[in-house]
Every structure is written in C-alpha cells, then in structure tokens.
Structure 1
Amino acid sequence: MWAHGSLAGGDYQPTRSDLDLVAVLSRACTAQEEHHIADVHEILGRSNPLAVKLHCGYLPAAEAADPARAHLAWAHEELLRRPITPVTRRELHEFGLVLYGEPPAVILPPVTERQLTDFVLHDLKTFWRPSLDHPEWWLKDIWVDLGLLTLARATVTLRTGKLISKRDALGVLQELDAPAEVVEDIRRRRYGDPRPAGQPWLAYRAESTLAFLGPAIDRLVAGHKPTGTSAES
C-alpha cells in the first residue's frame, strides 16, 4: 500500500486535500470483490469525513508495467477504472510513502522523461483544453483549482522534468500572470480561512479563469518542443 500526492509530498491539508493511495493486489478483483470494495468505501465515507476524499487505485502486480492500462479505483465517491498515470508513477518513485509491503521501485518500472512529457501534453490537449468549452463547470471550486494548478505544474514539468506541489504551483501561477484575485482565492481556500462566495464572484472567477487558461494552455503546448527519440524511449 502506497501514498502519493499531497500526503506523500508534505502538502496535505486535512479536510481539503485528497488522500491518494495505491493498493497493490496479487491478482485482479472478481466482480463480487469489487462490490465489496465499493461497500467498504461507502461505509468509511459515512463514518469518517476524511474518507470522503479518499482515492485509491487497486493495481494487480502483474499489470503494473503498462501506464496506459486502466485499473479498478475508488475516487469522487464512486467505483471506476482509470490508469496509474506516469505523473502518479513518478510521484511514487520520487517521494511515495510505503504504508505496507514493498516499495514502488520493486513493482513499478521507472518513468522515462518522454513518457512523462507525452502524458502531460496529452492531458492538456485532450482533457483540459476541451473542458474550457463547458463554462458551467468552472463555477465550481474544484475546476478552478485543478485547472489552474495543473497548468502551473505542467509548465514546470515540461520545462524541467520536475514535479512540484500545489503550494509551489501557486507561485508559478503568479509568474504566469494568472488572475491575482483567483490565485489568492485558491490560496485562501486551501491554506487559509475560506470565505463564503456569492454567485457574482463565482461567475467573475469562472470568466477570468477561462480567459486566462485557454491562451495559456495553447502557448504551453505550442511552445513545447517534442521529445526526441533516445535510448530511454
């Protein structure tokens, strides 16, 4: 069992941060076992407020080599299937917490620079850029927070190959000339004392975020030089 994300990186904020875990399995779950896992998560969510933000990927060890392969996961209070992405894998290798069993390096292959770069660019182009066509989504805190923080973290990863925390990403957003009021709103809700937000502010925040993010994503993607073929490819 491993932890990654904010908890492993030292930026965990109780009740505000997700609790990101990966459980390594000896084999894939049966349908009955999947139902049991969902029941356990639902019971935890009702009994412990922190469990509402619990995200856990269930990774059969025999399937660990393929970063594109989808696995059973619990996230956003539902059972789904999604990959253990190259970003998550790099986090696990660099600063993952071993809660039980073998360390990630024993089970997960290393993540190459090309794998990391290709994933970050693909995520920006195929998920985040199209999401801007749904302005109603951006009235919610989670879209504003993750959209802007992902841009900042992607910028650093594409430039340097490094992963940064959400706290550090706020500073990068300032350097990128993101809307200062929106950046401060994220900082206050994550690290300070959140204030009640009315509909006029939510609408203004969404409009400002969308106006900034579209051109910023386009510039980042267009300005990044494709990774050359090398021995690590």
Structure 2
Amino acid sequence: MQTEVLLDRFPGALAPLGPLAAWAHGSLAGGDHQEGRSDPDLIAVLPGPVRLGTVRRVAVLHQGLRADPLAAKPHCSYLTPAQAYGAAPGESLPEVPDREPAEFVVSDQRDLWRPAVDRAHRWTRDVRVDMGPVTSARAAVTLREGRRVRRAELVRGRLGPAIDGLVAAYA
C-alpha cells in the first residue's frame, strides 16, 4: 500500500525539525482513509519556540510531500510542547459524554453548514461540495443512532442501498 510508504516517509522528512511526536488523525487514524482520494491528516509536535527557520523547513517539507500524488493536499498541524504535551491522544483524552456529540452536530449544522448553503460563492470549492452533503448525512446518523459513522460505512451502507432503490423504482 502506497499510503504506508508515505506514512513511513513522514517521520524521516520531519527529522531535520527534531519532532517530539507525530500522529495521524482524521481518516488515517479512523480507518476509513481511501488511498489516492483521501488527504493525509498528520500532526507533528516540534520543539519550540517556532522561528522563521522552522517555518521555512516546514514549507520545504510540504513542497516535498505535495510532489507525491498521495499527499497533494496534506492537512498537517504543527504544535510545540507548550501547545501539546502528555501521552498519545487515545491515552490522555477524557471520555466524551453521550450528549456532547449530538450538541456539537446540531450546532455545526445550524451555525456553519446551514448559513453556508445560502452563500453561493462558498460552493465553488470542491471541498465544500464534497463535504457538505457527507457531513449532513453523518450528522443525521449521529443524531438518530447516537454514534459516529465513517464515510466508507456511509457510502456502502446507505448510499449503495439508496442507489439500488432509485434504480429499481425507475428501471
């Protein structure tokens, strides 16, 4: 798998920056990363403070990553120990109370996505067009079933049957 090669390369590419930690997040960490389609979501903890030379090295790193078709649009976050510390995220984050995902989903749909629908200029970017309907469908599952649904599950488990029903009804 080429994604594994990319993930193996990332720590090496970070080496000149002296990273303290590096993590994958988003679809890479969640298990629904689609090779050749999903963007790599990566976090690196760098020794602080961040100076101009560090910013330049990060820019060079990103230029190198973008040369790889699998990393054309990397979503990377760079933190310093003052911004992040402790154990890996899975070991140190508190459990989320049951009501919090539902509260977040409702506010995200109401305060971010619904107003965006009325602003046509925002829908000229592929990320909005791709993410809007998927985010709304994932929100509906979270609210109805009380769980987070991965994109891959959404496509296979819900879009597939919806297409089958449409084709059967109009064939």
Shorter-chain TM-score: which interval? 0.5 to 0.7
Give the alignment partner of residue 150 of structure 2, picking from 132, 142, 165: 165
1:20 to 41, 61, 67: 41
- Tell me if structure 2 keeps the 8 A contact 1:61–1:107: no
Q: Say if 1:62 and 1:121 are closer, same or farther in 2 by CA, change over 3 A.
A: farther
| Counterpart contact for 2:65–2:74, Cα < 8 Å | no
SS of the residue 2:135 aligns to: helix
Out of 102, 113, 130, the position equivalent to 1:128 is 113
Relative to structure 1, the CA distance from residue 121 to residue 58 in structure 2 (aligned partners, 3 Å threshold; closer, same or farther) is farther
Q: CA RMSD in A?
A: 3.3
Q: How does 1:140-151 map to 2 (within 5 A)?
A: 140-151=125-136
Cα distance change on mapping 1:40 and 1:113 into 2, 3 Å: same
The question of 1:56 aligning with 2:76 is answered yes
Alpha-carbon distance in structure 2 between the residues aligned to 1:126 and 1:112:
22
One-letter amino acid of the counterpart of residue 101, structure 2:
L
Structure number with larger C-alpha Rg: 2
Q: Percent identity?
A: 43
- Structure 2 length-normalised TM: 0.64
Listed as ranges, the gaps of 5+ residues in structure 2 are: 1-21
Provide the rounded CA distance (Å) in 2 between the counterparts of 1:142 and 1:108: 29
The C-alpha deviation readout for 1:33-56, integer Å capped at 9, x for no partner, is 2332123212321x2122213211
The equivalences for 1:13-162 within 5 A come to 13-27=34-48, 29-45=50-66, 47-64=67-84, 102-162=87-147
TM-score (norm 1): 0.49
Cα distance in structure 1, aligned partners of 2:40 and 2:82: 25
**Unpaired segments ≥5 residues, structure 1:** 66-100, 182-233
- 1:60 to partner: Cα distance: 3.5
CA contact (8 A) 1:17 1:53 kept: no
Using the alignment, how far apart are the partners of 1:118 and 1:145 within structure 2?
Answer: 23
Partner SS state of residue 63, structure 1: coil
Q: Which has the higher helix share?
A: 2
Amino acid at match of 1:166: R
What is the one-letter code of the residue matched to 2:64?
I
